[in-house]
Amino acid sequence: MIDDHGSEVSGGTDGGAGSARPADAGSRSAFWEGVHHGKDVDGVSWWQSVPGLSLGLVDSTGLGREEPIIDVGAGWSTLVDHLVERGHRDLTAVDLSVTALRTVRERLGDAGEGVTLTPADVLDLHLGRDYALWHDRAVYHFLTEPGERDDYRASLERHLRPDGRLVVATFGPDGPTTCSGLPIVRYTHAELAAEFPGFELVDTAGEEHRTPWGAAQQFTAVLMRRRAG
């Protein structure tokens, strides 16, 4: 659990005012803390009370309730809440924003006993344990530099079991070109799957997400399985 010390454009579009791109760990952390600080949960475009696309793919894996699951760049997503409700007992949510994680902790209350909330950078993640499923909605698409994507894959490989599952969702080819004022990379299913060469594609899905202010955003998602060995 996190301890106690520990932009989005509300009402507008995802275009933002063109924030300077945070390229190092310190500025990334400050940027994302600023995005969450002082906002209500539905003050960010990606908010959804039921993360249907993610839940559908996670449920389809049939993972046992004791199998460990990690949600990276979890923000204040309700994914962990829904997984707790389904009986999952070993859940970790990682995010750069302490404010976002604190919101999750307060929302979960006693139900959050089996949920570890960890402020950390997914580009340099060292949790010292591994997971049966890695979930990411709307983080990978911020990685516009090849080196960042290499760092992400290194974190993924350090934390996912052989044969582990990967669920990644990004903006689709007809989705917005920016998010929180930052440039993003849009992916087709095939392009997204090709980003993870050590994995085989199991399933694809997509959704037209409605932001809290009614704008449509196309999401692409893949479920992949790590090739053992």
Ligand X SMILES: C[S@@+](CC[C@H](N)C(=O)[O-])C[C@H]1O[C@@H](n2cnc3c(N)ncnc32)[C@H](O)[C@@H]1O
What is the chain's Cα-based Rg? 16
Q: How many angstroms separate the Cα of 24 from the Cα of each of 31, 101, 121, 182?
A: 10, 21, 10, 14
Please report how close the Cβ of residue 213 comes to ligand X at its closest, in angstroms. Answer: 15
Stretch touching ligand X by CB under 6 A, among 115-123, 158-166, 182-190, 195-203? 115-123
| Residue 88 in tokens | 């999952």
Number of residues lying near ligand X (CB under 6 A)? 20
Closer residue to ligand X, CB minimum distance, 75 or 175: 75
Listed ranges 68-76, 157-165, 197-205, 211-219: which one lies at the site for ligand X (CB under 6 A): 68-76
Q: Which is nearer to ligand X, 46 or 199 (CB)?
A: 46
Shortest distance (Å) from residue 137 CB to ligand X: 4
CA dist 221 and 229 (Å) reads 25
Task: Identify each DSSP E strand in the chain by its residue range.
Answer: 69-72, 91-95, 115-119, 131-137, 160-171, 178-179, 182-183, 199-210, 216-226
Taking the C-alpha atoms of residue 77 and residue 62, their distance in angstroms, rounded to an integer, is 21
- Judged by CB under 6 A, the chain residues 86 through 105 that form the site for ligand X are 94-97, 100
**1, HSE (Cβ side, Cα atoms, 13 Å):** 15
Examine residue 134 and tell whether it contacts ligand X (CB under 6 A).
Answer: no
Q: Using CB under 6 A, which residues numbered 181 to 210 contact ligand X?
A: none
Q: Which pair of tokens denotes residue 141? A: 């698409």
Scan for tokens 């049939």, then name that residue. 62
Question: Which residue of 84, 166, 179, 222 would you call a contact of ligand X, by CB under 6 A?
Answer: 179
Residues 7-36 that bind ligand X (CB under 6 A): 28, 32
Find the binder of ligand X among 58, 104, 139, 224 (CB under 6 A): 139
Task: State yes or no: residue 121 binds ligand X (CB under 6 A).
Answer: yes
CA–CA distance, 36 with 153 (Å, rounded to integer): 26
How many residues belong to the chain?
Answer: 229
Q: How far is the CB of 65 from ligand X (least distance, A)?
A: 22
Q: How far is the CB of 99 from ligand X (least distance, A)?
A: 9
**Interface with ligand X (CB under 6 A), residue from 108, 138, 156, 168:** 138
> Of the candidates 73, 164, 175, 176, which one interacts with ligand X according to CB under 6 A?
73
- DSSP 3-state assignment of 44? coil
Rounded to the nearest whole angstrom, what is the least distance from the CB of residue 138 to ligand X in the complex? Answer: 4
Closest CA to 41 of 75, 18, 3: 75
Binding site for ligand X (CB under 6 A): 28, 32, 46, 73-75, 77, 94-97, 100, 121-123, 137-139, 142, 179
